[in-house]
Amino acid sequence: PDAPHRQPEDLMNMQHCNLLCLPENYQMKYYFYHGLSWPQLSYIAEDENGKIVGYVLAKM
């Protein structure tokens, strides 16, 4: 979904993707902070089944 339509479960799935794939992990508040502060700079990549397979979080 587009960033302004992000759902809380999307942020939780972003964290799950991070925990599985990356060595540096963040607390849930990190995702909520970025998602609420700069929703226009957050993007997700989903597979054909809607599973999050990547994401971009940015801030200004």
SS3 43: strand
Higher-confidence position of 29 and 7: 29
Residues 42 and 34: beta-carbon distance below 8 Å: yes
Q: What is the pLDDT of residues 27-53, one digit of tens each?
A: 888 888 888 888 888 888 989 998 888
Domain ranges, ordered by start, for the chain = 3-56
Q: To which residue do tokens 């607390």 refer?
A: 27
Residue 46 has phi, psi (to 5 degrees) of -120, 150
Q: Which two tokens stand for residue 27?
A: 């607390």
How many Å apart are CA 1 and CA 46, to the nearest integer?
9
Residues 11 and 28: beta-carbon distance below 8 Å: yes
To the question of pTM greater than 0.85 for the whole model, the response is no
Superfamily for 3-56? Answer: Gcn5-related N-acetyltransferase (GNAT) (3.40.630.30)
